[in-house]
Structure 1
């Protein structure tokens, strides 16, 4: 056998073996879509290399012709798996787009139909036996072939672009993977040399690039290949562990935070980074690290990766939660100040107020009609109401910690019984049945304050109605009193806003605080009868 022919056969046979051999390791890739795309790429590329071997080794021109046409069909099919793999690996969704997939299949079948019918029209290539450099079927490509090749290479380079963009954006050292991707595209130059010079056969060498890619990502640099897909463009520190919890890889951010990682390769995680391991076991605790003289807080989480039921390892990610922790600490300090304020109001102001009220009550027992005493008692009662509202506001400043399902009609009925309603009446809409997830005590404060507002401003015999909003998602509290002028709708929730001398101006402000604390919304509008209507939207 001609040595040069033997060399070609060995090269393409090796490429086929490498591609098919890679299928035995494909199960280690944890992402299903990436695994499917890569498996299809290896299978089609391996088959393409086998068909090249058949083309070169077939004993007759007709057999060579058949192998060549089959190679054209299979070779074109490798573009789809390549783009599928690149899209999945880089975290894109093009491979799931049904429109793109249908379009790709349509274009592929159209081109294949031209290739397989070439004996009828000769638009794609012309074949004739040749004797140099060894006996084989020489192919002369027609312009249509170069158009299809241009389309195929353009699509292939779209995949390369996706890979290079990912490698350029991650925080890992991707030099090796960039080199592997470059080797994958190197056969393009072999194709050009084969088409324009006598130094190589004019056949397609892409299967060689895929075999190089297979060796690189599935055998030599698999850990880095897997890590980049898992970590993506995450800027936070990432440490990758193998199935035995030994340190296998890490990004630049992790190296900057933990310089000892440079000497910790293959070391047990517990020994290499004991503080991180401790934080991972206590998810409620944050890892504290000094960065450039500043204390930073990190939340430690893990992302296990498995393939076909086998645990391959896990990625440890440190998410910077410094701003969140600082905000929480500030809230805790504010709550402590509010607690101290409430304590001062409750004791230091209430005690002398109670003494004054007691003295006035004693004095009024013997002189009940004394105008000065009556005015003083009214002022003291107003001060007591102010203190109660201030205490409510102070307590409302605390975040809501616990919520539960609350049936609104039941709470409305209970709240009505807690308010001095005089001769006012309550009307609950027929069929009103709403349950919300809320802090029951604060929701009760909201409803009671709306009731007090209606009774105080609605006049004698006011009727307060409660029901569901049209379309659901909340409830309303309305009255048939004089209502609120439209130009004042934006002011009624302001602290201290009141239209009566007896009001404190805090009632509706408290209502809005409760609404906001639950993440709801409230608006005031005009009721059907001309009174005020407050609409609370809970979803």
Structure 2
């Protein structure tokens, strides 16, 4: 009995049902003592009756638990056993605590009890993302079949937590993509501006040789514009270099206040801002204001006269009434070095995306918006939610 209890404990299974069986098994011992002391019962050994009860209990009542203990051994990770029809046969206590939808799912198809897990298990991605309270956990999903002789009895699903490793991998992946974007941005924006400045400088020199002061002044003005553009791009890259790392420490920030602060520090001319809704997010205030600044700078370059920031529970949108882009592939809007939707827009939208990603947010362009450009920023991408809120 001690060995069984130890196995159950190492496999992280509750021992109460086993204790109940042991108690039933011990009852005949009381009958033995009573028959020895009293003549009302036949003087015989009742222990085999207890053993029989224990055996029946194992076979028909707790067969799954004993099988689960045998298969999982001392595995500490969440484990789920599925039968050959993919019904949940047993889960250990760790799985019950991590995945509440599996607590009372015995006999229920996995696709019904936890459709997100079922879809992931049968998919090609090995890493499962779980929303847990205000954080996201990552698990490596591995499965193997178990059989008796030539009969396939089902599958064992083991979930190994790799949160820190996966976060680091995604951070490195994001940084690599960001560095590639920087290189593309420098190559496209700065080289183009240098070429423009060089060309107009040559025109200015030629105009001065011809004593055409007016043309020389116009060419030099174009050179000044190109230099200013280079300065803007360098400032953009400097902002991303300072703020491009994934955040570890955040505070509660009022989105509406951050939007208005970003508007005040952006040269928007006569453009008007409207802010609707009100909510707070967990963010870095400076980076959030920089995000709005980049978005508002884009709306200015998009010739907008009015901008609306609509705030809702899971994010916010920034819509302008400027030019409607003709490009259907809206993902190109966020590529460094790609003059989409316009050359003047430069790196504004790529900056918006980077500053959103450092918060763990997503940003996209609404393809159905026809009155200009609308950015949708989702502050809660909602990874697969399998745990209690």
TM range (shorter): 0.5 to 0.7
Structure-2 change in CA distance of 1:31 and 1:423 (3 Å): same
More helix by share: 1
CA contact (8 A) 2:295 2:349 kept: yes
1:268 aligns with none
Structure-2 change in CA distance of 1:436 and 1:34 (3 Å): closer
CA-atom RMSD in angstroms: 5.2
Structure-2 change in CA distance of 1:499 and 1:519 (3 Å): closer
Using structure 1 for the length normalisation, give the TM-score: 0.41
- Work out whether 1:523 is the aligned partner of 2:370: no
Structure-2 change in CA distance of 1:32 and 1:65 (3 Å): farther
1:40 aligns with 20
CA contact (8 A) 1:408 1:433 kept: yes
Alpha-carbon deviation of 1:166? Answer: 3.8
- Work out whether 1:395 is the aligned partner of 2:242: yes
1:165 aligns with 71
Counterparts of residues 79-118 of structure 1 (less than 5 Å): none
1:467 aligns with 310
Alpha-carbon deviation of 1:159? Answer: 5.3
1:493 aligns with 334
Q: Residues of 2 paired with 1:329 and 1:500: CA distance?
A: 28
Among 38, 41, 49, which residue is 2:29 paired with?
Answer: 49
Alpha-carbon deviation of 1:395? Answer: 2.9
Deviations 1:386-426 (A, max 9, x none): 21122223334322232111101111111111111111111
Number of residue equivalences = 276
CA contact (8 A) 2:332 2:340 kept: no
Counterparts of residues 163-312 of structure 1 (less than 5 Å): 163-167=69-73
Counterparts of residues 5-24 of structure 1 (less than 5 Å): none
Q: Residues of 2 paired with 1:79 and 1:474: CA distance?
A: 58
2:227 aligns with 380
Deviations 1:340-385 (A, max 9, x none): x9xxxxxxx9xx9xxx9xx9xxx9xxx6871221121111111112
CA contact (8 A) 1:404 1:439 kept: yes
Highest RCO, 1 vs 2 (Cα 8 Å, sep ≥ 6): 2
2:42 aligns with 64
Structure-2 change in CA distance of 1:385 and 1:329 (3 Å): closer
CA contact (8 A) 2:362 2:377 kept: yes
1:414 aligns with 261
Q: Residues of 1 paired with 2:342 and 2:18: CA distance?
A: 78
Q: Residues of 1 paired with 2:17 and 2:280: CA distance?
A: 48
2:379 aligns with 538
Q: Residues of 2 paired with 1:371 and 1:520: CA distance?
A: 44
Deviations 1:12-66 (A, max 9, x none): xxxxxxx9xx8xx99xx89997453444334322222222454577636xx3399
- Work out whether 1:476 is the aligned partner of 2:317: yes
Among 401, 405, 420, which residue is 2:252 paired with?
Answer: 405
CA contact (8 A) 2:246 2:357 kept: no
Q: Residues of 1 paired with 2:24 and 2:236: CA distance?
A: 76
Q: Residues of 2 paired with 1:500 and 1:155: CA distance?
A: 66
Structure-2 change in CA distance of 1:368 and 1:473 (3 Å): farther
Q: Residues of 2 paired with 1:520 and 1:453: CA distance?
A: 19
CA contact (8 A) 2:325 2:341 kept: no
CA contact (8 A) 1:482 1:530 kept: yes
> Which runs of 5 or more structure 2 residues have no equivalent in the other structure?
77-91, 96-160, 184-190, 206-212, 381-389
1:449 aligns with 294
Alpha-carbon deviation of 1:437? Answer: 0.6
